[in-house]
Amino acid sequence: TAQIIDGKALSKQLRVGFRERVGRLVEQGVRPGLAVILVGDNPASRVYVGNKVKACEECGVRSLHVALPADTPEAEMLARIAQLNADPTVHGILIQLPLPGHIDVRRVLEAISVHKDVDGFHLYNVGGLVVGNTIFPPCTPYGVQLLLDTTGTEVAGKNVVVVGASNIVGKPMALMLLQREATVTICHAKTRDLAQHTILADILIVAAGKPGLIVPQMVKQGAIVIDVGINRLPDNRIVGDVDFDGVKEKASWITPVPGGVGPMTVTMLIENTLRSAERSLQASPADDYQDWEAPVLKA
């Protein structure tokens, strides 16, 4: 049976290091700050924002929770973002998605300063991912990459299958692993015969939002299986997209849900915020964004 990839433990360990980094920043007069903008009262979003604020507190990062009513005009959001862009005590800005329908998501994401885009959703960072030099890697795939590294597996040359092609998980995940010279296949809802692809995966990453999607017959013996899915069942249990009990008998490594990818997402958000704060000490504001060095995604 598979060894468990423990995202909770890795998160905890990383956060110890974060507190030390915050201590060093504070000594130099910088308290890292993260602004989280929530529009409306989507219950799931509220839980996610709560988790992010809590993680900030735990690490000594100042969090600024901007809660706006559901009918907030787009212009007001843009004005808020402009204020935060100009605020030197704010090092990261994130907009909790989804947004109400009257707001153009792309327009508000593109309004965030690329220097503070800790979610990595600004087109500049998305483009950076394509050419392999992203400054702020999007948090969920970034966390998956670290979890993969804990297995000691060399990614180069491996068959990686990513199930799910969203802009926040599947696509950036595939690009990151391509950058590390894996052979990457992306599957999605229109893929015919999913199993024909997944069975070839040395590393299988699943982010579809469909409980029970991946059963043992679809998994290669000895594969590493990363389950990004978070699904609430009618009986309120939280499960991933992978039949964990069945698949763990075939996989060499597997992430549990909860306790796998979930905690890492928030942890990488803090990592990005700290990196931004550290950067604020090094660079003069006039510095070109392109001077940023970005070793993170290099193998």
Annotated binding site: 164-166, 230
Strand ranges inside the chain, DSSP E: 3-4, 33-39, 62-68, 92-95, 159-163, 183-187, 203-206, 224-227, 231-232, 238-239, 253-254
Q: Find out whether 94 and 272 touch, Cβ atoms under 8 Å.
A: no
**Residue 259 backbone zone (phi > 0: left; psi -120 to 50: alpha; other: beta):** left
Contacting positions for ligand NAD (CB under 6 A)? 140, 163-166, 168-170, 187-189, 191, 194, 207-210, 213, 228-231, 261-262, 265
Pick the closer one to ligand NAD by CB: 190 or 298: 190
Pick the closer one to ligand NAD by CB: 85 or 191: 191
Pick the closer one to ligand NAD by CB: 29 or 234: 234
Cross-strand pairs, 205:
162, 226
235 catalytically annotated:
no
Least gap, CB of 223 to ligand NAD (angstroms)? 17
Give CA–CA dist 226/62, Å, rounded: 31
Tokens of 134: 């992203």
Give CA–CA dist 58/55, Å, rounded: 5
Least gap, CB of 12 to ligand NAD (angstroms)? 16
Least gap, CB of 270 to ligand NAD (angstroms)? 14
- Binding site listing for NADP(+): 164-166, 230
Least gap, CB of 297 to ligand NAD (angstroms)? 19
96 catalytically annotated:
yes
Least gap, CB of 151 to ligand NAD (angstroms)? 18
Pick the closer one to ligand NAD by CB: 191 or 252: 191
Q: Is 212 helix (H, G, I), strand (E, B) or coil?
A: coil
282 catalytically annotated:
no
Residues in the chain: 299
Beta strands 62-68 and 224-227 are unpaired
Q: Which residue is catalytic, options 117, 119, 227, 243?
A: 119
Strand ranges inside 141-217, DSSP E: 159-163, 183-187, 203-206
Pick the closer one to ligand NAD by CB: 112 or 205: 205
C-alpha distance from residue 243 to each of 4, 58, 89 (Å) = 14, 33, 45
Pick the closer one to ligand NAD by CB: 72 or 273: 273
The Cα angle at residue 192 between residues 186 and 195, in degrees rounded to 5: 75
Rg (CA), the chain: 19
Give CA–CA dist 246/219, Å, rounded: 10
Least gap, CB of 185 to ligand NAD (angstroms)? 12
Q: Which residues are catalytic?
A: 52, 96, 119
